[in-house]
């Protein structure tokens, strides 16, 4: 839970680096919280019939919508810091706007190991080894 708190309290920190552990633990906690909220407070689902066809529309409950807004900025910040850790610009996060392909590319980037010291700071793994943490 400490990694989630670290990422969440640094919600406007787009500078620096985030290790894989920080990023994935934060992501896991957000997915679990959103899953629980979506289960406890389901949204409205509508089916329209126009010209003999059916369509689907989902509207999240207000509680889920507020939770999504609360997690938006911290999620962007930890994603940008994770990209920095792999030696990439934070602007790569925008590739996620491309359906399916963008998400796959980001997942591959997020899974890659930390690179040596770069323009975003020293390798956080090296710092942990030096301090014994």
Residue appearing with tokens 């992501």: 27
Q: What is the pTM of this model?
A: 0.79
Nearest to 4 by CA among 27, 33, 32: 27
Query: For tokens 């985030």, what's the residue?
Result: 18
Q: What is the pLDDT at residue 117? A: 76
pLDDT tens digit sequence for 38-52 = 989 887 766 666 666
Q: What is the largest CA-CA distance in the chain?
A: 68
DSSP type of residue 19: -
Mean pLDDT across 122-133: 61
pLDDT of the residue at 81: 94
Q: Taking residues 16-33, report their average pLDDT.
A: 93
Terminal-residue alpha carbon distance, the chain: 17
At residue 47, φ and ψ (nearest 5 deg) are: -120, 125
- Is residue 86 within 8 A of residue 109, CB to CB? The reply is yes
Q: Write out pLDDT tens, residues 61-105.
A: 899 999 999 999 999 999 999 999 999 999 999 999 999 999 999
Half-sphere exposure of 98 (CA within 13 A, CB side): 9
- Report the pLDDT value the prediction gives residue 52, as an integer from 0 to 100: 62
CA-to-CA distance for 40 and 64, rounded, in angstroms? 10
């Amino acid at each position: 839970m400490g990694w989630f708190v670290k990422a969440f309290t640094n919600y406007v920190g787009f500078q620096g680096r985030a290790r894989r552990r920080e990023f994935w633990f934060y992501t896991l906690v957000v997915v679990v919280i959103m899953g629980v909220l979506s289960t406890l407070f389901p949204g409205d689902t509508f089916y329209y019939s126009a010209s003999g066809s059916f369509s689907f529309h989902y509207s999240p409950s207000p509680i889920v919508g507020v939770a999504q807004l609360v997690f938006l900025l911290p999620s962007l910040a930890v994603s940008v810091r994770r990209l920095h850790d792999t030696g990439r610009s934070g602007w790569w996060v925008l590739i996620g706007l491309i359906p399916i392909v963008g998400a796959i590319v980001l997942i591959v980037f997020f899974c890659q190991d930390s690179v040596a010291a770069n323009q975003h700071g020293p390798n956080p793994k090296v710092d942990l080894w030096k301090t014994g943490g």
